[in-house]
Structure 1
Amino acid sequence: MFHSMCRRYTPIILQVVWILCTISTCTTFTGNGTTSGIKDIFLGRCAEVKSGLVNPQLNQQELRSKNCTHLWELFYNAFTNTYPCNVTSEAFDEFVEEASVSTPPNKTLLWDGWEMYDTVRAYANEAKRRVPLSYLFTGYLINLLIFCGQEDSPGFNYDVCPDWEECGVGVGPMDGFWAAASRQFGRHANGDIKLLLNSNRPGGSFHTANSYLAEFELPNLDPNKVTRLDIYLVTFLGETPGDTCESGTIPELRRRLSNKGIHYECIEQPREILHLLCADNVEYEECQFTSSAQTTFSDSMDNAILIL
């Protein structure tokens, strides 16, 4: 009886599964599930920024007007109770706009490529030197959190979420949020901007596809607000330089900036970044300028003593 029922209903079951797979693309996700305690983390970060403990350069009057509970509700409603790959960046537009605060002038820091993340954070110096998106109010609330929804209760999926770009660039909960936030970050950038790129990034320093920089930030830069953009082309210690300001993928970046009317300069291995890289790696040959400086100082002191 059981086997005959199985044979009878199997085509119907397969048909239903096929319909569900057509609607949701039947994607198998490989990322971790939603961060445990995400609401508490979100609200805690919101209160932390509003208190002025994070990036005190942000406009405090603007921050005081933000309602953390309301922001959480906008964020939550953007992606929960929904199949992850059906979430677009536009779903986060209301949250991103409501959380928007002014970007401090002459502080914007752009970058691309995960291998640059630690260098970007070190250079930003907790937003004292430069302000990447992760230190603006919107980015700080969400940075490094994992999140996605599901159609069933409780609305969050705590077991598995799409990994980066598994739904497509700028599609899905996390990709969608960062696409919406990156568009706004580009629109609000003003004054002197720095852009950090890895000269040896696989595929070239400047990626024209699958890149939040190329697809969401650069297209939204306003030449009436941006006075200058410095391309900092970084080569990590012990590596041979890859792309240069004149070769590889950088000429395409320069062309796009020129077409937008953005004034720029390209600097290979800028010394301020090199000093940061050398701080914990003085044994590298590229870092021996410190020894030269010490030698010069010692020689000057010897000459001073001889004169005396």
Structure 2
Amino acid sequence: MANCEFSPVSGDKPCCRLSRKAQVGLGVGVLLLLIILVVAVVAVVRWRSPLEWNGEGTTKHFSEIFLGRCFVYTQIIRPELRNKDCTQIMAAFKGAFISKNPCSITKEDYQPLIQLDTKAVPCNKTLFWSKSKDLAHQYTWVHGNIFTLEDTLLGYIADDLTWCGDPSTSEVNEQSCPHWKKDNCPNNAASVFWKVVSQKFAEAACGVVQVMLNGSLSEPFYRNSTFGSVELLNLNPRKVHTLQAWVMHDIGGATSNSCSGSSLNELKLIAMSRNITFVCQDNY
């Protein structure tokens, strides 16, 4: 209980002093209030923090790399595309996954981006690959007028990059991104992107198309690979009349399979069932 005293001699105004019990009670109340505030702040921070995943986070300096590659491709590699707006392309790219659950990305999310890339590969100049990326790219670099997916605008820009967003922020998540297997996340931002651009790449192919396969593996043709599950099935038989397979082996390495193997026979049967002529050559 408060005690109030007045000093007639000094003329001091009345003052109120809390009893020790009241002081203790007030201190406990203030302490509890501080604890509640701290808990609330921590909860808000956790709620706003990006989700944690088992894969690597978005590539550092993602935006700068994206724009740099876009400018190099459109101004130097393919100057006929110099009128492309790289800023618009990046905005459409990010719009597919920013502020979204990175495990719930759909093909439709990337459609605004796909519509910005209208350049098609000329007939007879399409090269697919499976487990032979480095060799395929060395070939297209030397040959000059044949193209893998990574030699197209969107493939060139996104090659070897990692990206994802998060529902709690409008920024990319640089801490971690979903690993399609460890996080049981097949519909992640990167996987869906590559399926979409791979499908478009295959649908646009015409004439004779090539596929480079790794003959040093037990299965050069793997039904569940991107080539087997997406690109092969989206070749248009009305435009593509021949699929030519090149089965390549590591120099000095094992020769596990060849054109006469069961793996290539499976590929042949699929091509023929789609009215596409199949041709195969070892170590082209």
User: Does the 8 Å CA contact 1:165/1:175 hold for their aligned counterparts?
Assistant: no
- Seen in structure 2, the aligned counterparts of structure 1 residues 214 and 28 have a Cα distance that, compared at 3 Å, is farther
CA shift at 1:153, angstroms? Answer: 2.3
How far is the alpha carbon of 1:169 from its aligned partner?
Answer: 8.1
The 5 Å alignment of 1:222-261 reads 222-261=236-275
Listed as ranges, the matches of 1:1-308 within 5 Å are: 29-51=53-75, 53-55=76-78, 60=80, 63-113=81-131, 116-125=132-141, 128-166=144-182, 171-202=187-218, 204-209=219-224, 211-270=225-284
The residue type equivalent to 1:29 in the other structure is W
- The code of the aligned residue for 1:33 comes to G
Whether contact under 8 Å (1:32, 1:160) holds in the other structure is yes
Partners of 1:137 and 1:96 lie apart in 2 by 11
> Is the CA contact 2:103–2:186 (under 8 Å) kept in the aligned structure 1?
no
Q: What is the one-letter code of the residue matched to 1:190?
A: C
The amino acid across from 1:208 in the alignment is R
CA–CA distance in structure 2, aligned partners of residues 165 and 254 of structure 1: 30
Shift of the alpha carbon at 1:166?
4.8
**For residues 95 and 212 of structure 2, what CA distance do their matches in structure 1 show?**
34
| 3-state SS in 1 of match to 2:93 | helix
Q: Find the counterpart in structure 2 of residue 287 from structure 1.
A: none
Does structure 1 conserve the Cα–Cα contact (< 8 Å) formed by 2:178 and 2:185?
A: no
1:170 deviates by: 5.7
- Structure 1: 5+ residue runs without aligned partners? 2-19, 21-26, 271-308
Equivalent residues of 1:88, 1:170 under 8 A apart: no
Work out the CA distance in 2 between the residues paired with 1:90 and 1:166. 25
SS, match of residue 249 in structure 1: helix
Distance 2:162 2:118 in 1: 21
User: Aligned AA for 1:195?
Assistant: V
Offset, 1:94: 2.3
Q: Conserved in 2, the CA contact under 8 Å of 1:112 and 1:196?
A: yes
Q: In structure 2, how many angstroms separate the alpha carbons of the residues matched to 1:89 and 1:70? A: 19
Indicate if the aligned counterparts of 1:55 and 1:126 stay in contact, CA closer than 8 A: no
Q: Distance in 2 between matches of 1:99 and 1:135?
A: 13
Is contact 1:164-1:174 (8 Å) kept?
Answer: no
Superimposed CA distance per residue, residues 81-108 of structure 1 (whole angstroms, 9 cap, x where no aligned partner): 1121111333212212322311122211
Q: Share of identical aligned residues, percent? A: 28
**SS where residue 245 of structure 1 aligns?**
coil
Q: Which has the higher helix share?
A: 1
- Residue equivalent to 2:15: none
More displaced, 161-170 or 31-40? 161-170
Q: Deviations over 1:8-66 (max 9, x none)?
A: xxxxxxxxxxxx9xxxxxx9633211112211221222222221x2256xxx2xx2453
C-alpha distance in structure 2 between counterparts of 1:208 and 1:37, whole Å: 35
Higher Rg: 2
Q: Using the alignment, how far apart are the partners of 1:169 and 1:188 within structure 2?
A: 29
Gap runs ≥5 in structure 2? 1-27, 29-46
Q: Choose 257-266 or 242-251, whichever is displaced more.
A: 242-251
Say if 1:100 and 1:137, in contact at 8 Å, map to a contact too.
no
Aligned to 1:85, the other structure's residue is in SS state: coil
What is the deviation of 1:121?
A: 1.2
| TM superposition score normalised by structure 2 | 0.76
SS of equivalent to 1:227:
strand
Give the Cα–Cα distance (whole angstroms) in 1 for the partners of residues 251 and 133 of structure 2: 16
Q: Secondary structure at the match of 2:257?
A: coil
Given that 1:127 and 1:135 are in contact with CA atoms closer than 8 Å, whether structure 2 keeps it comes out as no
TM-score normalised to structure 1 length: 0.70
